[in-house]
Amino acid sequence: MRDKRLASWGGLLVAGAAVLASLTGCEPVPLTATPGSTLSISANPTAISAIGGVSTITVIGFRPDAGENQPAGGGTLPDGTQIFFTTNVGRIEERVEMVNGIARGFLRSDGRAGQATVVARSGAGVEATLEPPVLIGNAEGINILVTANPATVGPPDFTSNIVATVFDNDNNPLSNVPLVFTTTAGALASQGSILRTNQLGQASDRLTLENEQSASVTATSGTVSSTPVPVTRGTINAPIVSSVSPTIVDRDTTVNVTLTGLNFQPGAIVSFGEGVGVDSTRFINSTTLSVRITIDSSATTGTRTITVTNPDGQSGSLVGAFRVGRVPIISGVDPQTSGAGTGIALKIIGVNFVPGAFVNFSGTGVTVDTSTVTVSSDGNTIDLEVDIATGATGQRSVTVTNPDGGSGTLANAFEPTG
């Protein structure tokens, strides 16, 4: 009989609220538990996956015992009593109604891992907190390790690659785990959006320090966070130029030149001085640059200083490292063979020969009489005499080196038959 009276009393309360609303023209006031009521809350299951997981949250409400203004104390809360849910992880209905003293909401995972603490409320001071929380995505077994490469950033972009690796307590990588990167300074490429780990358990972001000297980056999945990783702005050394190849190039020529050294940066600018135009500079790594140059036909011959200037304004030079000069090109030797003897006349044919050029034959047994080396006025031939030792045989290369350092070689150009 008592339960019937309680049900009737609850029905009258609901009906009364509806009548009042119709008379006033207002929305009905939600029915909530009276002060002194109690709620019990439970979850089934108590652990769900981070993606597509669902747990049923059940709330049972009880009215206070009989007392003043409580004509029918005790029993469950009446039908229509509003239960309001909140959760710190995942999603749940904001409000549900009680039927037969029971209200059910559905906690759904939203990709974040964590321990979902669900709170049910109805009326002033009437609430219940779920204990223990629902475990979403095995949050207790998630570990997040964050690394920064490089940890010390520099020009031109002051950027570091941030990698977060998610693994369980057995060091197994976890894929498809949602992560959010945050930083205390600078700018992240993700801009706070949710990233997911790949099959290696990794997700990547990029941090750029703008005017800041340092920052700490953290990766978070639900209520689980990594240890912050520091990134600082470092001091970058000036470039050092140690060598160039080739060292000499003729006028009216376009050629690729390789510079080696230290502390080169992407976007570095290279200068060879007046008359030598730099068409392009390709950054290979911090120790190598590939530079395409064009030397004007009117460029002054002689040595040049090479200067490399990084985007941060620091520069380094190598004095006298490069020469604009005539590079000999050998097309042949006349005659191409000769037996043993002394004072044998030879003619070297080619272009860009300069008075004072030095001539050399590879191997042993062919000796140049330097006093006889004569360069023609047009620079296309060299006359000289050689001594060929008895028994000297085999193909020989000939090399002509101009006084300005320009050098050219022709392989298998001459054969002694001594």
Q: Answer whether residue 23 is part of any domain.
A: no
Cβ-contact 91, 105 below 8 angstroms: no
Check whether residue 280 and residue 366 sit in a common domain.
Answer: no
Q: Which pLDDT score is estimated for 10? A: 43
Closest by Cα among 4, 93, 95, 101 to 55: 93
Per-residue pLDDT of the chain (418 residues; tens, 9 = 90+): 444 443 344 444 444 444 444 444 455 567 999 898 999 999 999 888 777 889 999 999 998 875 555 444 578 999 999 999 999 888 999 999 999 999 999 999 887 767 889 999 998 889 999 998 988 876 556 789 999 999 988 877 889 999 999 887 767 788 888 899 999 999 999 999 999 899 898 999 999 998 899 999 999 987 788 999 999 988 778 999 999 999 889 888 999 999 999 999 899 999 999 899 999 999 999 999 999 999 998 888 888 999 999 987 889 999 988 989 888 999 999 999 999 999 999 999 999 899 999 999 999 999 999 999 999 999 999 999 999 999 999 999 999 998 877 888 999 999 999 8
Q: Phi and psi for 203 in degrees, rounded to 5?
A: -135, 145
Residue 397: what are its φ and ψ, rounded to 5°? -90, 150
| pLDDT of 11 | 43
Residue 338 belongs to a domain: yes
How high is the pLDDT of residue 28? 58
Helix (H) or strand (E) holding 107: strand 102-108
Last residue of a domain, one of 109, 136, 163: 136
What does the block give as tokens for 335? Answer: 């005659």
Asked whether residue 348 falls in the same domain as residue 411, the answer is yes
Task: Report the SS3 class of residue 6.
Answer: helix
For residues 219 and 181, is the Cβ–Cβ distance under 8 A?
yes
Look at residue 139 in the predicted model and tell me its pLDDT. 56
pLDDT score of 171: 77
Q: Is the peptide bond prior to 150 cis by the omega test (within 30 degrees of 0)?
A: yes
> Comparing C-alpha atoms, which of 129, 112, 133 is closest to residue 121?
129
Host domain of residue 131? 2-12+31-136
If asked whether residues 93 and 121 sit together in one domain, one would say yes
Instruction: Give the span between the Cα atoms of 208 and 228, in whole angstroms.
Output: 16
* Beta bridge partner(s), residue 334: 347
pLDDT of residue 301: 83
Compute, in degrees rounded to 10, the torsion defined by CA atoms 281, 286, 288, 294: 20
pLDDT for res 167: 84
What pLDDT is stored for residue 13 in this prediction? 44
| pLDDT value of residue 27 | 53
DSSP annotation of 140 reads G
Last residue of a domain, one of 324, 353, 384: 324
Distance CA 205, CA 165 (A): 12
215 to each of 112, 187, 233, 329, how far by Cα in Å?
Answer: 25, 10, 9, 59
For the domain that residue 189 is a member of, what is the CATH number? 2.60.40.10
157 plus 277 within the same structural domain: no
Q: Are 377 and 303 part of one and the same domain?
A: no
What's the rounded Cα separation, in Å, for the pair 157 and 312?
Answer: 10
Q: Which long-range contacts link 296-305 to residues 24+ away (Cβ below 8 Å)?
A: 296/251, 296/252, 297/251, 297/252, 298/251, 299/251, 299/274, 299/275, 299/324, 300/274, 300/275, 300/324, 301/251, 301/325, 301/326, 301/404, 302/404, 304/272, 304/273, 304/276, 305/273
pTM as predicted: 0.41
Residue 253 lies in a domain: yes
C-alpha distances out from residue 130 to 11, 38, 82, 160, 356, Å:
29, 14, 18, 42, 98
Whether 320 and 347 map to the same domain: the answer is no
